[in-house]
Amino acid sequence: MPDSGVLTAPLDNLESNMAYMVFASLAWTLKTWSGMLIRVKGNEGQRRVRREARNRIVRMEFWTYLNSLMLLPAQVIRSSRRRIFRLLTYRPTVDLLMTMHDHIRQPLRC
């Protein structure tokens, strides 16, 4: 059976490997949390679309999440009192990003 590299960390000592695993766990948790913050509300069609978006983000592999939602080419323009972020390309996952942004912007209510 070939070595898949699943149980190996890229570092040379135990402390570094532990830190690597902590960072990987934190990144995975933030990815899942960003998906869980999408609220399933609205009429039946909106609830279905939002539920699908939520499930898609939660079930997404981390590298897919990183490449499709986080690593987008953008132009940042700083003017007097504001920052403007212009997306320089469109991908189908930009809709997911905008949905996440709308739901994360709203205050949490317990």
pLDDT in tens, 38-92: 888 889 998 998 899 899 999 999 889 999 888 989 999 999 899 998 999 888 8
pLDDT at residue number 20 = 83
Please tell me which residue, 4 or 91, carries the higher pLDDT value.
91
In one-letter notation, the amino acid at residue 69 is L
pLDDT at residue number 110 = 65
Radius of gyration of the CA atoms of the chain, in A: 18
- Cα 47 to Cα 106: distance, rounded to the nearest angstrom: 17
Which DSSP letter does residue 92 get? T
- Long-range contacts (CB closer than 8 Å, 24 or more residues apart) made by 8-16: none
pLDDT in tens, 15-28: 878 888 888 899 99
